[in-house]
């Protein structure tokens, strides 16, 4: 729901139906977590995923100057990877699942990446492994069947998304 709310705000769309669900990991983050961590790392840039529970509060904090506009960035995980590579900053406070810290550190060994909260670990993401993925693709196991009328409707936004990514 936080991601949907963020997209609606950024696009100005009023006709979005936002499902009242959330990622249990991202929902943990609160503005006070961010402010505390940024106080401990005053030179750090702040990268936050739009699914985090404090995105709306962070947008408000940005607009009223509580968070520095030049150091706070709302980004997808791919956006965090790209931004951290091009940024001259040496420290980053990261607000998303902590698994990304390893990837960011490998791509930028000269930079430090700090989790906004140490408990932002998703046990469900950790269940997905390369051997399990390979097994699924090789043996076509765990097939999900969707009724044709739902698949036809779902295909439209998926194809649109793929065409926009080209």
Answer yes or no: do 90 and 15 share one domain: yes
**DSSP string of 85-111?**
HH---SEEEEES-THHHHHHHHH-TTS
Answer yes or no: do 121 and 150 share one domain: no
Q: Tell me the pTM.
A: 0.73
Answer yes or no: do 63 and 140 share one domain: no
User: What is the span of the domain harbouring residue 37?
Assistant: 2-125
How far apart CA 110 and CA 133 sit, in angstroms, is 32
Answer yes or no: do 107 and 144 share one domain: no
Closest by alpha carbon to 51, among 153, 122, 102? 122
Cβ(44)–Cβ(89) under 8 Å?
Answer: yes
pLDDT tens column, 81-127: 999 999 999 999 999 899 999 999 999 999 999 999 999 898 998 89
Answer yes or no: do 39 and 117 share one domain: yes
Answer yes or no: do 61 and 139 share one domain: no
Here the tokens at position 35 are: 């402010």
Answer yes or no: do 94 and 114 share one domain: yes
User: How many domains does the structure of the chain reveal?
Assistant: 2
Here the tokens at position 13 are: 């769309």
How far apart CA 110 and CA 146 sit, in angstroms, is 47
Answer yes or no: do 121 and 138 share one domain: no
């Amino acid at each position: 729901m936080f991601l949907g709310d963020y997209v609606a705000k950024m696009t100005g769309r009023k006709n979005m139906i936002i499902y009242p669900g959330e990622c249990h990991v991202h929902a943990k983050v609160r503005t006070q977590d961010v402010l505390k961590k940024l106080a401990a790392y005053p030179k750090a840039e702040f990268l936050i995923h739009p699914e985090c529970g404090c995105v709306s509060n962070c947008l408000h904090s940005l607009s009223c100057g509580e968070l520095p506009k030049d150091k706070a960035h709302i980004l997808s995980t791919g956006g965090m990877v790209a931004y951290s590579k091009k940024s001259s900053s040496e420290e980053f406070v990261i607000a998303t699942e902590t698994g990304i810290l390893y990837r960011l550190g490998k791509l930028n060994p000269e930079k430090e990446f700090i989790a906004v909260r140490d408990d932002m670990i998703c046990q469900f993401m950790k269940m997905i492994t390369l051997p399990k993925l390979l097994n699924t693709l090789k043996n076509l196991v765990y097939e999900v069947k969707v009724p044709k009328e739902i698949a036809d409707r779902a295909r439209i936004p998926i194809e649109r998304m793929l065409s926009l990514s080209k």
